A and B are shown apart, each in its own frame.
Chain A
Amino acid sequence: MPTDTENRELISLPTAELLRLAPFAGDFFSSIGLELPAEEISTADYFASLDAELLEDLGLERQTLAERFTAFMELLENLKSGIDSAHIESITIRGGHDKSGRAEEFDLTVKPGEVICIVGPTGSGKSRFLADIEWMAQGDTPTGRNILINGAAPDPSQRFSIEHKLVAQLSQNMNFVMDLTVEEFITMHAESRMVDDISSVTAAIIKLANDLAGEKFTPQTPVTALSGGQSRALMIADTSCLSTSPIVLIDEIENAGIDRKRAVHTLVDKRKIVLMATHDPILALMGDRRLVFKNGGIATIIDTSQEERANLVRFEEMDAMLGAVRNALRNGELIGKLG
């Protein structure tokens, strides 16, 4: 993988050679509004040859181009190495204090593959807790909490780097604002992650999403035509395969027309840490632990017991029954007397 010095040398390579070594380098030129240089010209010579008026029009300064190029190539490297090694083994939340200043007496360590539920009334501090994790709080948020990565304070440069974003969020009122087919959409995401085999990753994600969604869709379906359940299924499959973030935050997947249990298992299988703000009985009992929020702090941490979990079977039966009624209603059937 090219190092810093090698990046500096990339700039002297003829474009054909550059693109052979780093296929995504072409994006650099288009992203700032420049045409791809001719094959035999090096990036450095190309910069020197650009018309001053063109640069002025594009709002670019010649002397910063080389620096921009180097920064771009470093970004590509960081993203690539970020995918190659998702080296998060644990995330620790070191307790701070609640709104009255009462200390939270715990260190909570979560590991890939764990499911954590977050419960508590509105205003109790659930969103603040998630924001603490998202921004890797270092005692500098209203709660005074500290976030440790693999047992140590994260490097300050990681706090705002998109390559090291800790949390991917799957929210309820999410829309697609792009007019693309499912296949084009996932391809675009895979490209931004510099995945090696884009078409097979894309195919795998679409298949996975179809397994999760009640109603099937094809790679050619426009994303804007997907139902709520299909959209969520697609985003769960996409996030589990393409996101570098070790934590996936889900708020409310109740009744979304998707197999909730399998959705969570999909993320767990991909070694994500799943955080769910939910009061849905089935989801809550799937969690390994529940964090109970009160007055801006975590009041208790409940480990889901065998006894609690034994109820899951009952809840699933009830859920299946309601699901069947929902289907009957959709199909225009009458609801008979319940047995």
Chain B
Amino acid sequence: MKLITIAGPPSSGKTAVTIKAIAALQREGVHVGVVKFDSLSTQDQTVYEKQGVAVMSGLSGNLCPDHFFVSNVSDCLSWGAEKGFDLLVIESAGLCNRCAPHIQGVLAVCVIDNLSGVDTPKKIGPMLKMSDVVVITKGDIVSQAEREVFSYRVRQVNANATIINVNGLTGQGGHELGKLLLNAPETPDLEGRLLRFSMPAALCSYCLGQRKIGSDFQMGNVKKMDFK
């Protein structure tokens, strides 16, 4: 089975473009399944189901959704294999710009939208900079000049990725994205594989449930701003 991680900021169009790509793949007889990770709730389960796509949701609750993802990704793979998918897509929650659920040797896709503004590409960390395919959405809403500047800025921070514009509403580019997804390498198992980048270090008292503010209550990995 081929495995693909799709990440991107909230509401950037991950589900919309994934569905368009899957629709094109299904027409060619490719059997695709999806796992959606999110923190509190997700509508995506129903959106995928409506399209007739087999889907599983993982809600991380009070855990960081990306850490939760890593702890569960091997099980996702087993589930997909059991279901007999040709291709399993994992859609991340994409809540923090520093995180990246991308795995070495697994096709990594980042979805960002033109509406987020031309300065966004430089603000997004490994999720964008270490992805293999960058999907840019919502080109229908902005001008040609903004589209060109935006893709140039993406290229600046990730010169090696394949950049593709897909419209999540009309599906323009969905067929082509499907082709790119089919290029993903086979992933028989994930034991011992490496994340492309370490997840942010986070073990302070607040990770453990502390709610009080003040230096007496801060323990562990605490970092201070420099006001000088």
Contacts and interface: CB of A to CB of B under 8 A. Distances in A.
Interface of A: 27-28, 30-33, 56, 58-61, 68, 71-72, 74-75, 79, 127, 131, 134-135, 140-142, 160, 162, 168-171, 173-178, 185-186, 188-189, 192-193, 231, 235, 238-239, 242-243
A140 B180 CA distance: 12
B145 A185 contact: yes
Interface string B114-126: 1101100110011
Given A59-B126, A135-B176, A142-B175, A235 B143 contact: yes
A157 to B, nearest CB: 10
Given A59-B98, A160-B164, A173 B175 contact: no
Given A59-B98, A59-B125, A140-B179, A177 B142 contact: yes
B194 to A, nearest CB: 12
A28 to B, nearest CB: 7
Given A56-B198, A59-B125, A235 B117 contact: no
Contacts of B148: 162, 168, 189, 192-193, 242-243
Contacts of B115: 177
A27 B139 CA distance: 24
A160 B142 contact: no
Interface stretch (B55-63, B80-88, B149-157): B149-157
A192 B142 contact: no
Nearest to A169: B144
A75 B156 contact: yes
The winner among B129, B141, B170 for most chain A CB atoms within 10 A is B129
A249 to B, nearest CB: 10
A192 B135 CA distance: 19
A186 to B, nearest CB: 8
Contact of A31 (B125, B157, B173): B157
A231 B156 CA distance: 27
Contacts of B157: 31-32
Given A30-B122, A175-B142, A189 B155 contact: no
A188 B159 contact: no
A193 B163 CA distance: 17
B84 to A, nearest CB: 26
Given A31-B122, A242-B145, 7 more contacts: A31-B156, A32-B157, A162-B163, A177-B141, A178-B117, A178-B146, A192-B149
A175 B143 contact: yes
B136 to A, nearest CB: 10
Contact of A160 (B114, B153, B163): B163
A178 B148 CA distance: 14
B143 A59 contact: no
B159 to A, nearest CB: 3
Contacts of B176: 131, 135
A56 B121 CA distance: 18
Contacts of B175: 131, 141-142
Contacts of B122: 30-33
A174 B142 CA distance: 5
A170 B147 CA distance: 11
A239 B144 contact: yes
A235 B142 CA distance: 11
18 contacts: A28-B156, A32-B122, A32-B157, A59-B126, A60-B129, A68-B159, A71-B160, A75-B156, A75-B159, A79-B152, A131-B175, A135-B173, A160-B164, A162-B151, A162-B152, A177-B142, A189-B149, A193-B152
B206 interface: no
Interface string B27-57: 1000000000000000000000000000000
Contacts of B117: 177-178
A131 B172 contact: yes
B198 A31 contact: no
Nearest to B159: A71
The winner among B27, B117, B142, B159 for most chain A CB atoms within 10 A is B159
A178 B118 contact: yes
B140 A173 contact: yes
B12 to A, nearest CB: 14
B30 to A, nearest CB: 14
Given A177-B142, A178-B146, A192-B149, A131 B159 contact: no
B156 A177 contact: no
Nearest to A188: B149
Nearest to A24: B156
Contacts of A173: 140-141
